[in-house]
Structure 1
């Protein structure tokens, strides 16, 4: 289905350029035809002038009529040229607008299809694992240690499912202005530490590095800021190798309060650094990429940052990986 949409996009692009080329060629031909017609009319007037007025006996009258014919010819050329340029500009501007609209619509359709494929996979996996664990507990008499392990796995998968549904619901609410904000003064340092504690519990084998300055307060919505931090940490876990460190930093930097989440993954190409914050956008092909995700996490981070008058960006992390930086106003 996605390949079909890409073929539509390619076909629409080819048809657009063919039509635009034809219209411009027709416009040029129209200009040439009018100029030829004006030349023929001017030649006729020249012949008529030579037949009716003697240039030697009445040179003043002849030159006056000749100048009038030449001025009229120049006016015709200027009129044709101005009309042609106006219609050319109108055609090009309209064509670009239509072309961009069609491309945007088809790309949006491709992104939605990618999103549906990703969501389907993201929903099926935790549901299947949880159901399998519960059925295992129901059918077999397991020792307490194995029961605890299965229950913990089921709880982790339901947490992942809850995280996904929260992203989808909150994205819809923020876009439709349906979210009721609860701005208050809160300790961002404590919030970051709580989020890190939850991830350390979920991923005990990962290497976590904290560089959190205490008592950094911001005015904001606790739920949105928690979701912002969790999405950035989830993204770092997703793309960082299991042996790589994930660093969470929160510092007062001049007049800004700077939150940074860094990983040691493959990094992000420079040409993709702006695209990754678009809704549904994911690097690579949905059928071949290995990393899970829906393309909503970083988009939500952008919306939440804007909601708090903050800005978010991504830079390269040394020696490898990416660093996502959120700057809150002081």
Structure 2
């Protein structure tokens, strides 16, 4: 891509130089028409540079997209290898050691958790691909959103502390019904909670709320993590985009989660806002209209 940009700039420079030279020669040969030649030349140069500017922007956008795709493939590789290595180690331990029944059950539970991580990742990639290709139809039906959020919270309840402290605090108003695509909205809730846990330090709490207010349904996920800069809030829902630079980023991810969240919510005429938490972290607030 860098070589292409160098060639592009060389051609632009050559074309402008040739234009100036031919303009000079025309003025020299026909000095009485110098005004017309200069005017048309300036107009041509203006259009030429405008086209070159937009072409440059397009090439830069394509270059960044290619870099993001490359980083996405690297991220997916790491994301897949981590749970697979964990599952392999747990199963090898069960196979080679004489463990108690309680230990075996504990290892099986951990393996199942890693398998669920892999399943979520694959579902994300498939859904993102279908959304991008406009091949997903978002079939809608009425279902209990309260039960869905409660089930996901229980599944994602993770302990990062030695004292087995629960880090997801949920306030879920019961019996909230909504009409929508249950599969796609499951992905929305899962991605928002997983992101909050991922970007929080060990033992920091994540607050999940679901409630009705003024004829609308609100779903909020608040964390006390690293937060999101104002300059990046408008870009976090772009495909493959991840906060921070690839050189300094420590958290795992593919850059598809929030893209899926935004696309699914748009299809449900719902909105999402990102606010700063106090004193640190972020709050993602989803608003549904009652149906």
**Structure 2-normalised TM-score?**
0.88
Pairing partner for 2:152 from 195, 206, 221: 195
Q: Equivalent residue for 1:56?
A: none
Checking the alignment, whether the CA contact within 8 Å between 1:156 and 1:202 is kept in structure 2 is no
Alignment of 1:1-330 (within 5 A): 8-9=1-2, 12-13=4-5, 16-17=8-9, 19-39=11-31, 42=32, 73=33, 77=35, 79-200=36-157, 205-286=165-246, 288-330=248-290
CA deviation after TM superposition for structure 1 residue 219, in Å: 1.7
Partners of 1:269 and 1:120 in 2: CA distance:
28
Gaps of 5+ in 1: 1-7, 43-72
Counterpart secondary structure, 2:130:
helix
Counterpart secondary structure, 2:203:
coil
Partners of 2:272 and 2:14 in 1: CA distance:
45
| CA RMSD after TM alignment | 2.4
CA deviation after TM superposition for structure 1 residue 310, in Å: 1.6
Q: Deviations over 1:171-227 (max 9, x none)?
A: 112222333432012232332222222222677634333333344332201111111
Partners of 2:273 and 2:195 in 1: CA distance:
14
Partners of 1:165 and 1:289 in 2: CA distance:
22
Checking the alignment, whether the CA contact within 8 Å between 1:206 and 1:242 is kept in structure 2 is no
Q: 1:85 to 1:213 in 2, by over 3 A?
A: farther
Partners of 1:270 and 1:18 in 2: CA distance:
37
Q: Deviations over 1:252-273 (max 9, x none)?
A: 3445422221110010111111
Partners of 1:303 and 1:251 in 2: CA distance:
22
CA deviation after TM superposition for structure 1 residue 293, in Å: 0.8
CA deviation after TM superposition for structure 1 residue 321, in Å: 0.4
Partners of 1:142 and 1:98 in 2: CA distance:
64
Counterpart secondary structure, 1:251:
strand
Q: How many aligned residue pairs are there?
A: 287
Partners of 1:206 and 1:27 in 2: CA distance:
71
Q: 1:21 to 1:312 in 2, by over 3 A?
A: farther
Partners of 2:286 and 2:105 in 1: CA distance:
38
**Structure 1-normalised TM-score?**
0.78
Partners of 1:84 and 1:218 in 2: CA distance:
63
Higher-Rg member (1/2): 1
CA deviation after TM superposition for structure 1 residue 111, in Å: 0.9
Partners of 1:94 and 1:160 in 2: CA distance:
47
Counterpart secondary structure, 1:283:
coil
Using the TM superposition, name which of 150-159 and 98-107 deviates more: 98-107
Q: Which has the higher helix share?
A: 1
Q: 1:17 to 1:259 in 2, by over 3 A?
A: farther
